């Protein structure tokens, strides 16, 4: 029997028994919560589907139920919309509370909640997760169907934004993995299952995460017309704490190296001494500065 040890912070959250490693003091980045997190949002992620949410060839369909989506409206002129994805076991409301406090009045934030699914890392115990994982690293076995389904959900949330609005995706931990995967799908022009990627991402941010399918990225870029040029132009920000004991630092560093070596020349990697698997004001300030510059936002609140 596999034994799973979850590191619990001293922060207290009401509403159930939670193990959390996340935003220090209030908002978690890794929650294990068996409570009722799900508001039914049904989408088809089955094989053989002809919709944008399909998962490649084969026979059979799978229904995935995403949880509640939280939206933080822009407090100034709406210039950009970013889908922000939480970490393993968390929910969208946790990050919407933090994002609402950032001095970025021109951004609309969309914070969805992942489906509840059995997780191999937890010995099959169910948790909110964007895809199944055996390990939190770029070397882990890849649940391509789950990745494609979550990336399609992100694209669907962005697809209804006005054409003049710049689109972005970001996330923490497992959410960062989906954000970076979505950016590579945008560059390649399709999901791993071959379905076309439908929206144009202008920026992607990954905090304390990793790049799924890193070993396959070079071949994907070579096989897609125009992908190398798009990779060169895609703005990416990766941030990682040097003492992260959940997604260890070397995995974030290796992901940044994989992106840089495959032609993502507009990629920035920032490391933070003493930072574990959570975020701190120094990191969020870097994210705010980076987004303001890369998205050409008019101004920030002081």
Share of the chain above pLDDT 70, in %: 78
Q: What is residue 141's predicted lDDT score, i.e. its pLDDT?
A: 84
Instruction: Enter the pTM of the model.
Output: 0.82
Two tokens, residue 46: 């089955």
- CATH homologous superfamily of domain 67-295? Alpha/Beta hydrolase fold, catalytic domain (3.40.50.1820)
Please classify residue 127 by burial: count the beta carbons closer than 10 Å to its beta carbon, then call 0-12 exposed, 13-18 middle and 19+ buried: buried
Q: What is the pLDDT of residues 74-97, one digit of tens each?
A: 999 999 999 999 999 999 999 999
Two tokens, residue 159: 């697809």
Q: What is the three-class DSSP state of 190?
A: strand
The Cα 292–Cα 106 span in angstroms is 9
Q: What's the rounded mean pLDDT across residues 42-64? A: 43
Active site residues: 173, 244, 277
Q: What is residue 301's predicted lDDT score, i.e. its pLDDT?
A: 59
Judging by DSSP bridges, how do beta strands 236-241 and 166-172 pair with one another? unpaired
Between 49 and 93, the more confident residue is 93
Q: What is the pLDDT of residues 227-277, one digit of tens each?
A: 999 999 999 999 999 999 999 999 999 999 999 999 999 999 999 999 999
């Amino acid at each position: 029997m596999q034994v799973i040890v979850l590191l619990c912070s001293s922060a207290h959250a009401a509403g159930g028994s939670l193990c959390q490693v996340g935003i220090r003091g209030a908002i978690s980045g890794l929650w294990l919560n068996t409570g009722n997190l799900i508001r039914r949002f049904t989408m088809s992620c089955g094989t053989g589907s002809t919709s944008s949410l399909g998962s490649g060839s084969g026979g059979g369909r799978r229904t995935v139920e995403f949880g509640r989506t939280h939206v933080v409206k822009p407090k100034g002129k709406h210039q950009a919309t970013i889908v922000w994805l939480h970490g393993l076991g968390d929910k969208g409301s946790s990050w919407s509370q933090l994002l609402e406090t950032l001095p970025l009045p021109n951004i609309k934030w969309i914070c969805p909640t992942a489906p509840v699914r059995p997780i191999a890392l937890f010995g099959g115990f169910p948790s909110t997760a964007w895809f199944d994982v055996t390990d939190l690293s770029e070397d882990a076995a890849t649940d391509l169907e789950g990745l494609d389904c979550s990336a399609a959900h992100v694209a669907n949330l962005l697809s209804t934004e006005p054409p003049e609005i710049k689109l972005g995706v970001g996330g923490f931990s497992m959410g960062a993995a989906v954000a970076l995967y979505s950016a590579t799908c945008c560059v390649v022009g399709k999901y791993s299952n071959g379905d076309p990627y439908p929206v144009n991402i202008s920026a992607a941010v990954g905090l304390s995460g990793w790049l799924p399918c890193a070993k396959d990225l070079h071949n994907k870029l070579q096989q897609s017309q125009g992908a190398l040029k798009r990779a060169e132009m895609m703005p990416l920000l990766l941030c990682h704490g040097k003492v992260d004991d959940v997604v260890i630092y070397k995995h974030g560093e290796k992901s940044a190296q994989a992106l840089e070596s495959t032609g993502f020349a507009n990629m920035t990697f920032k490391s933070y001494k003493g930072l574990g698997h959570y975020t701190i004001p120094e990191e969020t300030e870097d994210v705010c500065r980076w987004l303001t510059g890369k998205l050409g936002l008019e101004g920030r609140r002081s």
